[in-house]
Amino acid sequence: MPPRARMLYSILSLVFLLAAAMPLVRELSRRSDIWWTPQTMLVPLAQSKDRIEIYARGKPLDALLEAGQLQTSQAGGSNTLAASDIGLGFNNWDHVRVERMPMLLLDAAACGVLACLFLLMVAGRITYREERAA
């Protein structure tokens, strides 16, 4: 293969390799603690029953709240907690990760193919046949 063509194809394969690797690098370097429910969007205890049940000393939190057995202590005294005082935050990282997995696998496969192509190009293992006159 002529040196100019080899250089051109090597550069092109490197550019495509970097383009395919960028989403992988971005995903692997992303913080995993950003997927928690924001404070302003906490889920009320009544709406979270399908995802979570909270127990304190073997008793459901709902029963303890209804019986008025949960209190908070402050410097001025204590307050009984109500169900409206409880809000739950969920970590949605597992859902986000599952949604992104197919695209990341495709990017990883593209990176592998492009890295092999680049190595073959640099090593000169791809043959080049010159055009023949008809």
* Whole-number pLDDT of residue 131: 66
* 29-40 per-position pLDDT tens digit: 888 777 788 888
The band of 125, judged by pLDDT with boundaries at 50, 70 and 90, is confident
DSSP letters spanning 47-100? GGTTT---EETTEEHHHHHHTT--EEEETTEEEE--GGG-EE--B-HHHHHHHH
* Whole-number pLDDT of residue 102: 92
* 50-85 per-position pLDDT tens digit: 888 889 889 988 888 889 888 888 887 888 888 888
What distance in Å separates the CA atoms of residue 108 and residue 111, rounded to the nearest whole number? Answer: 5
The band of 109, judged by pLDDT with boundaries at 50, 70 and 90, is very high
Taking alpha carbons only, the member of 44, 42, 15 closest to residue 118 is 15
Domain extents for the chain?
Answer: 1-36+91-134, 41-90
